[in-house]
Amino acid sequence: MRMFKPAIMLLTLLLVCPAWGGQDGQLLERLRVDHGALKAAERDLLRHQQQGNLGVTETREYAAYVDRLRQRVVRDCVALAAAEVVVPANIDCPQQTPPIAGPVAIDQQSEQTDDERAAVLDAELNAELGEFDQRLLREQERVKAAKPPAAGGGSQGGAGSATEGAEGAEGAEGAEGAEGGRSGDLAGSGEPGVTGEPRENGDLAAPPTTSGAAGGPGQQTTIKDQPNDVPDGSDDDIVARQFREAAERATDPETKKKLWEEYRNYKQGTL
Amino acid sequence: MAWRNLLFIPLVLLAGCSTISSHRSIDNDVQIEKPVGEITENQLLDVWIELFDPGELQVDENDSKGLSVDIREAEARYLPLLLRDTMEKTGYWGAVRVVPRGTEGGEVLVQGVILESDGERLELKITALDASGREWFSSTYEAEVSLQAYQDAEPGGHEVFQALFNAIANDLAVYRATLEPDDILTVRRIAELRFAGDLAPDVFSNYLQRSDKGQFTIVRLPATDDPMVRRVSAIRERDFLLIDTLNGRFDNFYQTMQEPYVQWRKTRLEELESLRAIEREARNRKLIGAAAIIGAIAIEVLGGDSSRAATGTLRDVMVIGGAYAIKTGFDKDSETTIHRDAIEELGESFSADTKPLVVDVEGETHKLTGSAEVQYAKWRALLKQIYAAETGLPGTIN
């Protein structure tokens, strides 16, 4: 709409200055201005039509504006001719007869048959489709222009160092793995004693808090009594659980006490 | 017509029946199934894959380390394109397009939700339905890849989770194989009538019936030479063109994102592997230490006086050694911070890279669909006026 602005302002100026007419000189000046505006608008419209960058509605509105300008020029020419003023040679007065009393409000739709109206609308639809195609075509060209260059190689970055780190860590883990097996033996070595003596130590000091069944025939009774000052173990990690379970399984009070002590130390991070 | 079914023999054998499991754990060697011959054009269904729902990140802070909503938003646009490309290669389908969520008019619609995606594991919930409103299936697909998979993949080449997308494409083809030619035709017609009904409800609303469950059935068909059908078809062609243009934008996004995305997933996984190795080592050291201390206590308590005296030094060594092992375990723990920070930084950096890309493609999508919406509104009004003129129904003249 930027291109319409000067012309619209000019037209508005002309419309709000009714006292302009009257004097021949003023009439001639108005013709010059109107004629100049008409020629500029005609050229502009033609250029936009050739470039195809105006929509159907915009083209129609612009053409109507040009038509109004032309009628105004014709009116000026008629007025000057009536006043017997010679129109300068560089102004070509159009041969169109101006309307006598402004535009007549004719309902063109009611003058058309249904078929004609449908045909007009159909044509409008086709024009809109064509315009949409143009827009999409332009968009596709923009998409093509924005296409990133084909992805190439060469994105090595600093991944190498991270890989090396991982490999190093795995190597260390392998070495510890062997010891892990041995630690299992160690852990297991304590168990026969723990599980093998429940009956001998049935007189444990603290009343046992039994979990599970109340000791069926041959069933191991798990005693989970724990000192009041140790936490419930809900946030134990795997190592703390080892201490806790060993302490819970222990039937000997002294062993139990020491294991709980280790558990506390571990939980407090003092080991 | 029986010969047509021969095209789907491998799939029917593969599936055994049309039931598709609601949860699929995908092996990395799932290959894509292809028809044995070419499917005729009138038996092809167009597929629209909606941009995925980015889902929600894991609540657990450790699990969601280095992941972000921005990355998920980018993946929600990236992953559907992988599925599209996979499906296009099968030859089972007509046009396969990625569309913004909530887009109407597809013959087969595939919707996806990202349940998990961290470079190592990918879990998607995929729902497929056709234009008649019939749900084909709704399944979750999960796959896990190792670091080796990234190391083996060529830059810009093979997608490490390709097997998962192959499995989805295969399941869609399996369901497609259960449809009779008439079913295909009906789906195509319903899709067209739904589009027409959206564009010109005055004209086309009575051609379809919608059940309470949202399923569409055809009540009647318009005449083949109906000029309104011709007009709507012309607009539908533009709709396809619009979506193709959008897919051009999505493709640009995909290509820009591909390399940094693959690199981010790979590097993240490398850091994660290092982190796990250190955590394992730290844990093992602590376990060994704990076992040594437990053993020392057992020897001390359970042994006799003589053995207690004989093993005094050993027990001391075990206790001291155990305590030391636990201490080194804790020391090792502190090394994990480096990798945790690295994972976090990688995520932040990749987030910062992808966010503008997402904003850009989202803006372009809105711009295009927004202007198209204005255009469609004009077309709707025009169609309404044309219909009024052709039928002489004054009430419909706008």
Q: Across the interface, which of B248, B273, B285 has its CB nearest the CB of A166? A: B273
What pLDDT was estimated at residue A215?
A: 35
Residue of B nearest to A141 (CA): B245
- pLDDT, average across residues B215-229: 92
Give residue B81's pLDDT band: very low, low, confident or very high (50, 70, 90). Answer: very high
Q: Please give, rounded to a whole number of angstroms, the shortest distance from the CA of A261 to a CA of chain B.
A: 11
Residues of chain A with C-beta less than 8 angstroms from the C-beta of B382: 121, 124-125, 128
Q: Across the interface, which of A143, A238, A246 has its CB nearest the CB of B249? A: A143
Residue B153 region by backbone torsions, left for phi larger than 0, else alpha for psi between -120 and 50, else beta: beta
A99-103, B50-54, B294-298: which range is least confident on average? A99-103
- pLDDT, average across residues B195-219: 92
DSSP 8-class letter at A75: H
Asked if A166 lies within 8 A of B274 by C-beta distance, the reply is yes
What pLDDT was estimated at residue A72?
A: 82
Asked if A114 lies within 8 A of B389 by C-beta distance, the reply is yes
Residue of B nearest to A171 (CA): B277
Residues of chain A with C-beta less than 8 angstroms from the C-beta of B319: none
Residues of chain A with C-beta less than 8 angstroms from the C-beta of B238: 129, 132-133, 136
Query: Do A252 and A243 form a contact (C-beta atoms < 8 A)?
Result: no
pTM of the predicted protein model: 0.61
Q: Please give, rounded to a whole number of angstroms, the shortest distance from the CA of B156 to a CA of chain A.
A: 6
Asked if B382 lies within 8 A of A172 by C-beta distance, the reply is no
- pLDDT, average across residues B149-169: 87
User: Which of B 212-241 lie inside 8 A of A, CB atoms?
Assistant: 231, 234-235, 238, 241
- Whether residue B260 has pLDDT greater than 80: yes
Nearest to B130 by CA among B111, B106, B94: B106
What pLDDT was estimated at residue A110?
A: 61
**H helix runs in A52-99, sequence order:** 56-82
Quick: pLDDT tens for B378-395: 888 888 888 888 877 654
Q: Is B143 exposed, middle or buried (0-12, 13-18, 19+ CB in 10 A)?
A: buried
Residue of A nearest to B262 (CA): A155
Asked if A129 lies within 8 A of B234 by C-beta distance, the reply is yes
User: Which of B 115-154 lie inside 8 A of A, CB atoms?
Assistant: 147
Residue of A nearest to B302 (CA): A193
B199 vs A: CB within 8 A? no
Identify any residues that bridge with B114 across adjacent strands, giving them in sequence order. B124
What pLDDT was estimated at residue A156?
A: 33
User: Which of A 171-200 lie inside 8 A of B, CB atoms?
Assistant: 172-173, 176-177, 179-180, 183-184, 186-187, 189-190, 193
Low-confidence ranges of chain A (pLDDT < 50): 1-4, 6, 9-10, 12-21, 98-100, 152-223
A56 vs B: CB within 8 A? no
Q: Across the interface, which of B147, B242, B281 has its CB nearest the CB of A176? A: B281
Instruction: Quote the Cα angle for A102-A105-A108, to 5°.
Output: 130
State how far the Cα of B207 lies from the Cα of B226, in Å rounded to an integer: 13
Residues of chain B with C-beta less than 8 angstroms from the C-beta of A195: none
Taking CB atoms and an 8 Å cut-off, how many pairs form between chains A and B? Answer: 172
User: Which of A 101-130 lie inside 8 A of B, CB atoms?
Assistant: 114-115, 117-118, 121-122, 124-125, 128-129
What pLDDT was estimated at residue B72?
A: 94
What pLDDT was estimated at residue A107?
A: 61
A247 vs B: CB within 8 A? no
Higher pLDDT, B315 or A56: B315
Residue of A nearest to B241 (CA): A136
Nearest to B136 by CA among B201, B197, B45, B71: B45
DSSP 8-class letter at B128: E
Q: Please give, rounded to a whole number of angstroms, the shortest distance from the CA of A210 to a CA of chain B.
A: 23
Strand arrangement of the beta sheet that strand B96-99 belongs to: B23-25, B135-144, B121-130, B108-117, B47-50, B96-99
Asked if A262 lies within 8 A of B259 by C-beta distance, the reply is no
Residue A215 region by backbone torsions, left for phi larger than 0, else alpha for psi between -120 and 50, else beta: left
Higher pLDDT, B30 or A148: B30
Quote the ipTM score.
0.76
Residue A218 region by backbone torsions, left for phi larger than 0, else alpha for psi between -120 and 50, else beta: left
Q: Of B92-96, B283-287, B342-346, B380-384, where does the model show the most confidence?
A: B92-96
Q: Is A13 exposed, middle or buried (0-12, 13-18, 19+ CB in 10 A)?
A: exposed
What pLDDT was estimated at residue B62?
A: 66
Q: Across the interface, which of A117, A172, A266 has its CB nearest the CB of B281? A: A172
Asked if A136 lies within 8 A of B330 by C-beta distance, the reply is no
Residues of chain A with C-beta less than 8 angstroms from the C-beta of B119: none
A242 vs B: CB within 8 A? yes
What pLDDT was estimated at residue A179?
A: 34
Q: Across the interface, which of A150, A179, A259 has its CB nearest the CB of B288? A: A179
Pairing of strands B23-25, B47-50: unpaired
Asked if A125 lies within 8 A of B298 by C-beta distance, the reply is no
Interface test with B, best of A116, A155, A183 (most B CBs within 10 A): A183
- Whether residue B121 has pLDDT greater than 90: yes
What one-letter code names the amino acid at A116? E
What pLDDT was estimated at residue A18?
A: 42
